[in-house]
Amino acid sequence: MTVQTLLGPDTEPAQLFDLAQQLRVDAVRASTSAGSGHPTSSLSAADLMAVLMTRHLRYDWAAPDNPAADHLVFSKGHASPLLYAMFKAAGAIGDEELMTTYRRFGHRLQGHPTPVLPWVDLATGSLGQGIACAVGIALAGRDLERRDFRVWVLCGDSETAEGSVWEALDSAGRHRLGNFIAIIDVNRLGQSGPTELQWDTDAYARRIEAFGCRALVVDGHDLEAVDRALTTAADGSAPTVIVARTVKGRGVAEVADQEGWHGKPLPPELAERAVAELGGPRDLRVRGPQPPHGSPALRVDAPEVELPRFETGERVATRVAFGRTLAALGARPEVVALDAEVGNSTHAEDFAAAHPSRYFQSYIAEQQMIATAVGMAVRGYRPYATTFAAFLTRAHDFVRMAAVSEITMSLCGTHTGVEIGADGPSQMGLEDLAMMRAVRGSTVLYPADAACAAALTAAMADLPSISYLRTTRGAYPVLYGPEEEFPVGGSKTLRGGADDRVTLVGAGVTLHECLAAADRLAEDGIAARVLDLYSVKPVDAAALVRAARETGALVVAEDHHPEGGLGEAVLSALAAEGEHPAVTHLAATGLPGSGTAEELLHAAGISRTEIADAARSLAARHR
């Protein structure tokens, strides 16, 4: 086959048709060769992508790091055979890689795209997320970088059942993101049957327009109509969603618009017939419109960050210390803050007052808040996203996928545990430590006082991957002086001596309860060590081993459910070191209600009284 290069807007309609057929052929070949994949979902969108990459996507495939280039996000990540066929058409990969490595172990052409590929910004495949993160990329480009690149997103029609799609369009509409363009591949069929709206493109359009975006309805197989729609969408006047009516399995009569073919490669004999029906293999190359050369965003030397200072004994909530420190960190130009309409409680509003141009209000849309943070991280910013810990749980899948994308960002969950008091269980973050400890590569921090909270908030700005700070609602005495250091992975021993008979392990509010319990134990002649395990992941295994060997018994108290939190972090660390001391684990069990913090801590069995009782029992058994 002769290699022919297609050049941007001058490409003839017949050549566009050939390119679309090539994309279809290669999607079929790759998935059949792999024995798995989603060819029919790729066939429906091939015409859309052929026109986009040839005439509209301003991208230099040889320079994927050009900051002025457009972005292409496959929110419909299962259509990876189509995306990889596009990479081949662009000359970014070769046919051998496509045919022999797709979906194979140890290779980069994975079943759903990830940033191991330099042309992929973020991992997709958990539906409804790519479009949401694309909003963050578009916001960063327009409002932070002042660049005119466009963000193109390919969505499937099935994923529009996800609420996060509409959170994304609401955000795009509210911000009037004219550089944001989504394309919905309305091919009527989902995984197990027809989609909710099937081919009712007018219903899609009404919904899109209700969220403040422009809707363009088009026949997704009419190349000239698609070109006109993309041209209109790229005018920058409004966030735009192209609603493209397509046929799943287009071009292959035996599977076109047929149920039962989602996620199934064509068997070899059928694939051979399909390739012939599509006109056979081709070897076209695309050089679409080129972006201007963009220099990296200017990074001026930021002034030294002056962290807030707190007096020992002063009563300050750790959420307050977080907010004041975050505002101070705004001296670093890469730091941005995102809020979910609770900034006056989380104290993210402190950053808003100091640095309004880098503060982004997501309203009560936690999924979109995290997605926006991911998009901004793609562009090199350091986002801090904050809300009540209880509400971060609803965005857990976005955090999980951010880790798959190897995103770096900082999260803060406030109002944790039963300590919050009268608001009741719907507001109590009692699962967040387990959630964040389970995230790949995460760092989980839980300060007990303002000095520690300030130091850890600042430290997160330089941590890799995803870091999480757990803060409390109530004000507690400052325990540490302003010069104290809090290395990640460390701990602090606040009480201790050679005669210690038990170790009390706490973090956050329970550390203060442990200190009070140690005072009670001292009155009974029982010396107790008190360990502040402010770093939950990584945990200070050396300090735990030392405490186990020197005291023989540990009481771990946490304002969290027993599963997956501080206690399990301690037990796992000790087990890994071959240490098996006597351990009593106190955690919040049962269903809490409303009350004062003191009442609820006692009812949960994690107050100073229960800690002291557990320590007495352990000490009596291990004289």
Cβ atoms of 71 and 151 closer than 8 Å: yes
d(CA 173, CA 449): 41
Only one residue has tokens 């071009």, namely 251
Residue 455: both structure tokens together: 């130091």
Of all helices (H) and strands (E), which one includes residue 209? helix 201-210
DSSP letter for each residue of 92-142: SS-HHHHHHHTT-TT-SS-SS--TTSTT--S---STTSHHHHHHHHHHIII
Residue 146: both structure tokens together: 């002042």
Angle separating helix axes 223-233 and 39-51, nearest 10 degrees: 70
Strands 528-532 and 492-495: antiparallel
DSSP letter for each residue of 299-336: -PPPPPP------TT-EEEHHHHHHHHHHHHTTSTTEE
**What backbone phi and psi angles, to 5 degrees, belong to 219?**
-75, 115
Annotated active-site positions, please? 366
**Hey, is 413 helix, strand or coil?**
strand
**What backbone phi and psi angles, to 5 degrees, belong to 55?**
-115, -15
d(CA 102, CA 114): 13
- Sign of the dihedral defined by the CA atoms of residues 579, 581, 584, 586, in that order: negative
| Helices of type H across 492-565 | 509-523, 541-551
Residue 247: both structure tokens together: 């046929």
Strands 535-537 and 443-445: antiparallel
Range list of β-strands (E), 246-312 = 284-287
d(CA 494, CA 484): 12
Cβ atoms of 492 and 543 closer than 8 Å: no
CB-count burial class (<10 Å; 0-12, 13-18, 19+) for 42 = buried
Cβ atoms of 530 and 494 closer than 8 Å: yes
**Going by C-beta distance under 8 Å and a sequence separation of 6 or more, which residues neighbour residue 496?**
529, 530
